[in-house]
Amino acid sequence: MKFLKFKTLNSTNTWALDHFDELENLTAVCADSQTNGRGRFNRVWVSQDCGENICLSFVLKPENKKFLANLTQYLCVVTAKTLETYGVEPEIKWPNDVLVDGKKICGILCEAFLKHNAIKGVVLGIGVNLNMDKDLLKNIEKPATSLNIETGKKIDRDAFLNLLTEEFLKNYENAVEKGFASFERDYLQRINFLGKKVYLTQRDNAPKEEFFAQKIDENGSLVVKTADGLEKTVFSGDLIL
Ligand code: BTN
């Protein structure tokens, strides 16, 4: 993994997409702070300007493009395993949020890079709250937490970054070649919503639909049951538990 470290970027994802052609496969673009951190559904990603949280984007250009869509789920597992080494018990909320104690600690934003209508690879961005202030967390719309709060200790960002990237590289080739099947067990062990009533949205403020979450299929998609008993496979969206 090659690391590019910046003090401030607008967004590590935006910067990596803007420089995608010049960047090597398996480059990690890291920033101490972002002025325009982005989340899924055009949400804002809030992080402190202190350089003590994880704001990073992996630039990935694998030969096999078939399983690119599963890499967010792969990174979820990697992050959960990394957090576990700090003694916390993370849960995965489909498709790609990691929660601790029911509160979000990590968000992942995967964006494809296209050229002449062909996918050249992805920028897989991740933000992890390592050393957030309680007060700042309170201002985030949805329940959020940070590793320092969960463990009661200041977290060494570089140590966390090394553990995360090591874990990422361990099974990355398998994830790229075999997709969800290669980390299915690790993913399923950590999910928190199966067998429950969930709401699903495709964007903020869109009507929420209520479903029964049945299973994750062999591709990593969510299979739900509608109120009238119909089975439906969902490929993307946001779950509200
Ligand atoms: C989400 O939960 O909706 C995804 C949040 C992703 C945040 C990370 S921080 C590093 C990278 N750069 C961004 O602008 N976003 C991602």
Q: What are the pLDDT digits (tens) for 98-125?
A: 999 999 999 999 999 999 999 999 999 9
The angle subtended at Cα 101 by Cα 97 and Cα 106, nearest 5°, is 30
- At 238, the pLDDT band (50, 70, 90 cuts) reads confident
CA distances from 27 to 2, 13, 30, 122 (A): 5, 12, 10, 11
The per-residue pLDDT for range 123-173, each reduced to its tens digit, is 999 999 999 999 888 888 889 999 999 999 999 999 999 999 999 999 999
Q: What is the DSSP letter of 65?
A: -
The answer to whether residue 50 scores a pLDDT higher than 80 is no
Q: Which two structure tokens, joined as six digits, stand for 124?
A: 């897989």
The predicted structure's pLDDT at residue 56: 97
Q: What is the pTM of this model?
A: 0.94
Going from the Cα of 39 to the center of ligand 1, the distance in angstroms, rounded, reads: 5
Strand (E) or helix (H) holding 97: strand 97-100
Strand (E) or helix (H) holding 158: helix 157-170
For residue 56, which phi and psi values (nearest 5 degrees)?
-150, 155
The predicted structure's pLDDT at residue 163: 98
Ligand 1: residues with CB < 6 A are 11-13, 34, 37-40, 43, 45, 55-57, 107-109, 125-127
The size of the chain, in residues, is 241
Rg, C-alpha atoms of the chain: 17
Using the atom order of ligand 1, give the atom closest to the CA of residue 14: 14
